[in-house]
Structures are given as C-alpha cells and as structure tokens.
Amino acid sequence: MVAYELLTARFPYGRGFASQRDVIRLSYVSARELRDDIPAWIDVALETAVHRRPTERTEVLSALVEDLRRPNTALGYDHPRPLLERNPVGFWRTVALVLLFANIVLVFLLSR
C-alpha cells in the first residue's frame, strides 16, 4: 500500500472503509488512471499487493520487490492500453487528419 501511495499520492481503494461490509464494495483504482507514466506490469504488481482479499495478495515482500523491478508474466499484464486511453488528444488529432486527407482526395476526385 505504501508503494501505491508513493507513486500516486492516493489510496488504492479511495477513501477506505469503515466496516467489513464495505470491503465487498471496494474497487481498485488503477495507478495508471492516476499517472500515465506507470507501466502496466507495475500497476498489476501493485494491484496484486493490495488486493482486498488477503489470500489473493502477494505473500512475501521479496516477491513484490521482484515484481516491481521487472515484469512478471505470470501476473497477466500483457494487455496494452488502447491509444484512445493512453493519448486521447493524439488519437482524435490523428482521426481528424485522416478524415481531412480523405475529404481532400474526394474533392479532388469529384472536381475532375
């Protein structure tokens, strides 16, 4: 939890919980949503380390440190984020440029 807070300056489950009943409704806030520069494999390692069920958490500190040092393919982080999530402005600029180019080509072809 401290590693998550150091990287994001927030808590992994928002404001926390007051009772055991509240634990059921908790949902992990991805560190990548708060900071784009955090790699997916680090976010998955952090999510595993702060899992809401203690039996699902990383068992020993040395395993967490190893997962934070280099990617652990066993955690299943290999899903890259789409460009629209990584850089929405760049995505829409690219779409606008492609559409502009298509319109210019269509106007040129229709004006012949």
pLDDT of residue 103 exceeding 90: yes
Per the structure block, which two tokens stand in for 111? 């004006």
Q: Looking at the structure, do residues 13 and 41 belong to the same domain, yes or no?
A: yes
pLDDT value of position 91: 92
DSSP calls for 30-63:
-HHHH-TTS-HHHHHHHHHHT-SSGGGS-SSHHH
- Structural domain total, the chain: 2
pTM for the complete prediction? 0.59
pLDDT digits (tens, 9 = 90+) for 50-88: 887 888 888 888 888 888 887 776 776 656 677 887 788
Whether residues 87 and 67 fall in one domain = no
Query: Are both 87 and 75 inside the same structural domain?
Result: no
Q: What is the pLDDT of residues 22-61, one digit of tens each?
A: 666 777 888 888 888 888 888 888 888 888 788 888 888 8
Shared domain check, 93 and 62 = no
Instruction: Give the end-to-end CA distance of the chain in Å, rounded to a whole number.
Output: 66
Are both 44 and 92 inside the same structural domain?
no
Q: Residues 89, 38: one domain?
A: no
70 and 89, same domain (yes or no): no
Q: Residue 31: name the closest of 20, 44, 21, 19 by CA.
A: 44
Provide the domain limits for residue 104.
Answer: 83-112
